[in-house]
Amino acid sequence: MQKPLVSILIPFKNTETYLKPCLTSIIEQSYPNWELLIIDDGSTDQSFDIVNSFALKDKRIQLFKNFGNGIIDALKLAFSKSSGELITRMDSDDIMQPNKIEVLANNLLTHGKQHVAVGLVNYFSEDGIKDGYKSYEVWLNNLTEKGSNFSEIYKECVIPSPCWMLYRSDLIACNAFNPNLYPEDYDLAFRFYKHGFKCIPCADVLHNWRDYNSRTSRTHLHYAENHFIDIKLKYFLELDYDKDKTLVIWGAGKKGKTIAKKLIEKQIKFEWICDNPNKIGRDIYGVILKPFSYLKDEGNAQSIITVANKIEQKEILIYMKNLNLKQIEDYVFFC
Mean pLDDT by 10 residues, the chain (335 residues): 95 97 98 98 98 98 95 96 98 98 98 98 84 90 98 96 97 90 91 98 97 58 63 97 98 96 98 95 98 94 96 96 96 96
Element (H, E) at 284: strand 283-284
* Residues 102 and 156 grouped into a single domain: yes
Residue 11 maps to a domain: yes
Pair 175, 299 in one domain: no
Query: Does a structural domain hold residue 231?
Result: no
How far, in Å, are 154, 168, 247, 329 from residue 11 at the CA level? 26, 18, 40, 37
CA 30 to chain centre: 27
Shared domain for 251 and 184, answered yes or no, is no
Instruction: Specify the amino acid at residue 208.
Output: N
Q: Is residue 232 part of a domain?
A: no
Q: Are 284 and 260 in contact (CB under 8 A)?
A: yes
| pLDDT at position 214 | 56
Verify that 96 and 14 share a domain, yes or no. Answer: yes
Q: Does residue 219 sit in the same domain as residue 255? A: no
CA–CA gap between residue 243 and residue 301 (Å, rounded)? 10
Query: What secondary structure letter does DSSP report for 223?
Result: G
CA angle 312–316–320, rounded 5-degree value: 175
Pick from 174, 192, 223: which residue ends a domain?
223
**pLDDT for the residue 232:** 96
CATH number of the domain at 99, please. 3.90.550.10
229 is a domain residue: no
Q: Which domain holds residue 38?
A: 6-223
Q: Are residues 72 and 143 in the same domain?
A: yes
Whole-number pLDDT of residue 212 = 76
Q: Are residues 128 and 276 in the same domain?
A: no
Alpha helices in 58-130, H assignment, sequence order: 71-81, 100-111
Q: Which of 223, 250, 269 is the last residue of a domain?
A: 223
pLDDT of residue 215: 56
**Amino acid 223: pLDDT:** 47
Q: Has residue 96 been placed in a domain? A: yes
pLDDT of residue 131: 78
Q: Across the chain, which distance is largest between two alpha carbons, in Å? A: 70
One domain for residues 150 and 38: yes
Q: Are residues 181 and 246 in the same domain?
A: no
Task: Tell me, yes or no, whether 234 lies in a domain.
Answer: no
We report the CATH number of the domain holding residue 295 as 3.40.50.720
Amino acid making up residue 146: K
Q: Are residues 29 and 136 in the same domain?
A: yes
Rounded to a whole number of angstroms, the CA Rg of the chain reads 22
Instruction: Specify whether 120 is located in the same domain as 211.
Output: yes
Distance CA 253, CA 255 (A): 6
Q: Does residue 151 lie in a domain region?
A: yes
Rounded to whole angstroms, how far apart are CA atoms 87 and 76?
A: 13
**Residues 258, 316 within the same domain:** yes
Overall number of domains in the chain: 2
Query: What integer pLDDT is reported at residue 218 of this predicted model?
Result: 44
Which of 160, 191, 223 delimits the end of a domain?
223
Residue 121 is assigned to a structural domain of this protein: yes
